[in-house]
């Protein structure tokens, strides 16, 4: 059926379904790579980081609405291009925001902030959710971690996302870590070096 037969809202939803399906397939490939301990070469290109993260936020707004949540984005004041795999870094940010929504109560706000740190760019994803208990803090980045818990609305957790995210960030010579207090909230940080071709 031709695209002309759809209105703008329907076209937007079809585009969202296509994008989500594509990224789901890429996630499956990522899991297979991790399981085989043989990550493929990452194809990197100059990518404007504000646009990439804004795209991730916009795609997840519909998910936030399911729990009457909001996502607030504070971008860099000046555009900055990083030499990264846009698909893989998109997956990291998507995972962090999805987790923040999953483990936060209905009606809450998730904050995403991009900061210029000089030689690096830092992306912070902050929630006011259930936090990470001390007993899980050393294992959340492990593959198939026991730290997985259901979300505040019973959402499933597979314990894979943060392990894959760490592999991706480290493959970009970056760092990922978090601060968390149980029943107060969690902030995940990703730092990526500025472009070096």
For 64-82, what is the mean pLDDT?
A: 94
Query: Are the CB atoms for 80 and 121 separated by under 8 Å?
Result: yes
Rounded CA separation 187/185 (Å): 7
pTM for the whole structure: 0.79
Residue 80 within any structural domain of the chain: yes
Residue 96 maps to which CATH number?
Answer: 3.30.565.10
For 174-186, what is the mean pLDDT?
A: 94
Per DSSP, the three-state class of 136 is helix
Report the number of distinct structural domains present in the chain. Answer: 1
Residue 67 within any structural domain of the chain: yes
Query: What is the pLDDT confidence band of residue 15, given thresholds at 50, 70 and 90?
Result: confident
Residue 24 within any structural domain of the chain: no
Residue 13 within any structural domain of the chain: no
For residue 113, the cross-strand partners are 74, 124
For 159-168, what is the mean pLDDT?
A: 82
Residue 120 within any structural domain of the chain: yes
For 9-13, 25-29, 125-129, which range has the lowest pLDDT when averaged over its residues? 25-29
Query: Are the CB atoms for 120 and 112 separated by under 8 Å?
Result: no
Residue 162 within any structural domain of the chain: yes
Rounded CA separation 43/149 (Å): 33
The model's pLDDT over 100-144, given as tens digits with 9 standing for 90+, comes to 998 899 999 999 999 999 999 999 999 998 888 888 888 888 766
For residue 115, the cross-strand partners are 122
pLDDT at 68 (0 to 100): 94
Alpha helices in 42-194 (DSSP H): 49-65, 86-102, 161-171
pLDDT at 32 (0 to 100): 60
Closest to 164 measured CA to CA, from 134, 180, 142, 148: 142
pLDDT at 21 (0 to 100): 72
pLDDT at 117 (0 to 100): 95
Which residue range is the domain that position 125 belongs to? 45-193
Rounded CA separation 21/12 (Å): 14
For 80-94, what is the mean pLDDT?
A: 93
Residue 11 within any structural domain of the chain: no
């Amino acid at each position: 059926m031709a695209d002309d037969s759809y209105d703008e809202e329907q076209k937007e939803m079809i585009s969202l379904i296509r994008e989500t399906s594509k990224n789901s397939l890429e996630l499956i490939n990522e899991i297979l790579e991790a399981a085989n301990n043989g990550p493929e070469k990452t194809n990197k290109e100059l990518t404007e980081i504000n646009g990439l993260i804004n795209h991730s936020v916009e795609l997840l707004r519909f998910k936030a609405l399911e729990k009457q949540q909001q996502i607030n984005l504070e971008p860099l004041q000046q555009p900055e291009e990083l030499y990264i795999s846009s698909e893989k870094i998109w997956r990291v940010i998507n995972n962090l925001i999805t987790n923040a929504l999953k483990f936060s109560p209905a009606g809450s706000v998730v904050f995403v902030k991009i900061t210029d740190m000089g030689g690096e760019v830092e992306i912070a994803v902050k929630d006011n959710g259930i936090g990470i208990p001390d007993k899980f803090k050393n294992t959340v980045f492990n593959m198939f971690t026991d730290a997985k818990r259901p979300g505040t609305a019973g959402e499933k957790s597979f314990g894979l996302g943060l392990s894959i995210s760490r592999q991706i960030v480290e493959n970009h010579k970056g760092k990922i870590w978090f601060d968390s207090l149980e029943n107060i909230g969690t902030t995940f940080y990703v730092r990526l070096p500025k472009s070096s071709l």
